[in-house]
Amino acid sequence: MDRLSGIGVFVEAAEAGSFSAAAERLALSRSAVAKTVGRLEARLGVRLFHRTTRAQALTEEGQAFLEHCQRGLADIRAGEAMLAHGRRAVAGRLRVSLPVLFGRRCVAPVLTGLAREHPGLELDLHFTDRLVDLVEDGIDLAIRNGPLDDQAGLMARLVARQRMTVVASPDYLARRGAPADLAALAGHDCLVYLRGGRVRGWLFPMPDGRDAVIRPAARLRFDDLEALADAAAAGLGLTWLPCWLVRDRIRAGTLAEVLTDQPATVFTSHAIWPRSPHPDLKLRLAVDRLAERLPGAAEL
């Protein structure tokens, strides 16, 4: 039995968001995509998608299987790229749009490392939290945090998962104690993120599948996540931040996680690029490297 049978179609269906969109990308009929996924489910003995007449979504098993499949396909593409590199050098300009802080802290080091390996590769890195129009702005590749809107004419691939956590300094916790549950946050000093003139709520997944949205009262509000981390480390209160941003502070002991028994919200990050039947080698290498090196949901 060919154990890879149906894997590519399954990944395409998961990343495209529907069997119809995957069928369009693969030049197949929708029924052919559905049958291929069905045969894969039968072979594995699990359901990979929840299906309704209006929508489809990955099951928990499907999401876990997708991540393994994406890593496997990334390894295959990396092998192909290695062979291709033997035939032609990775060269030319790659224009990339990055969110400012995540881009500077996480994405740029991966891409500059790739440039170090390939002297012919040129990088134009544009740091902005504005949603750019890739075609209009002449961008080859963009990183988007959070849910994707309509991506007509674009390809997308999941490259990172950002787990959120509530942290405070050991000094603050020694003075005020750690909150035992979400309700206890109301009795604490909290530091919040302000964007677009609005305070962003803290999200916590509930057993019913919905998110609890906590908007703690706060006298200190920041429109910069790094400044939030600095204030928390200075003992000014609790704050809710992505793990990649506070990882080093937690390891150094200047911040500590609280509410660790509470399930954590995880935000996704995608690479998107203009659709092409044959993406060039530098683009494929960049996307594969980002998927390999950017933080996963369980990573601090």
Burial class (CB in 10 A: 0-12, 13-18, 19+), 22: buried
Those residues whose C-beta lies under 8 Å from the C-beta of residue 298, and which sit 6 or more positions away, are 163
What is the arithmetic mean of pLDDT over 118-125? 92
Task: Give pLDDT tens digits for 106-118.
Answer: 999 999 999 999 9
What pLDDT shows up at residue 88?
59
Please give the structure tokens belonging to residue 266.
Answer: 């995880």
User: Which of 233, 234, 231 lies closest to 219, judged by CA?
Assistant: 231
pLDDT band at 54 (very low <50, low <70, confident <90, very high): low
**Residue 297 — very low, low, confident or very high, per pLDDT cuts 50/70/90?**
very low
- Per-residue confidence (pLDDT) for residue 70, from 0 to 100: 85
Mean model confidence pLDDT for the chain: 88
Amino acid at the residue 251: R
Q: How confident is the model at residue 298 (pLDDT cuts 50, 70, 90)?
A: very low
Among 296, 299, 289, which residue's Cα sits nearest to residue 108? 289
Highest mean pLDDT among 118-132, 165-179, 196-210: 165-179
Using alpha carbons, select from 147, 168, 146, 183 the residue that is nearest to residue 262.
183
Tell me, what's the pLDDT at 269?
92
CA dihedral (251, 254, 259, 265) in degrees, to 10, reads -60
pLDDT band at 300 (very low <50, low <70, confident <90, very high): very low
For β-strands 56-58 and 49-51, DSSP reports them as antiparallel
The secondary structure of the chain in percent helix, strand, coil, rounded to multiples of 5, reads: 40, 25, 35
Instruction: State how far the alpha carbon of 217 is from the alpha carbons of 188, 232, 260, in Å.
Output: 9, 15, 21
* Per-residue confidence (pLDDT) for residue 83, from 0 to 100: 67
Mean local confidence (pLDDT), 52-64: 81
| C-alpha to C-alpha distance for 87 and 201, rounded to whole angstroms | 51
pLDDT value, residue 270: 92
pLDDT at 53 over 90: no
User: What is the distance between the alpha carbons of residues 187 and 35, in angstroms, rounded to a whole number?
Assistant: 54
Pick the range with the lowest mean pLDDT from 50-59, 158-167, 191-200, 280-289.
50-59
State the average pLDDT over residues 119-128: 93
What are residue 261's phi and psi, to 5 degrees? -85, -10
Average pLDDT over residues 76-81: 73
Banded pLDDT at 82 (limits 50, 70, 90): low
Of 65-69, 151-155, 255-259, which has the strongest mean pLDDT? 255-259
- Say yes or no to pLDDT of 75 above 70: yes
Strands (E), the chain: 49-51, 56-58, 92-98, 121-127, 141-145, 154-168, 190-195, 198-199, 202-205, 211-214, 220-222, 238-242, 256-258, 266-274
pLDDT tens-digit series, residues 219-236: 999 999 999 999 999 999
- Render pLDDT for 125-177 as a digit per residue (tens, 0 to 9): 999 988 888 888 889 999 999 877 766 678 888 999 999 999 999 999 999 99
- Which residue in 162, 165, 193, 166 sits closest to 267, CA to CA? 162
Q: How far is CA 56 from CA 53, 151, 266, 267, in A?
A: 8, 17, 20, 20
Residue environment code for 171-206, b if the CB has 16+ CB neighbours within 10 A, otherwise e: ebbeeeebbeebeebeebbbbbbeeeeeeeebbbee
Q: State the pTM of this model.
A: 0.69
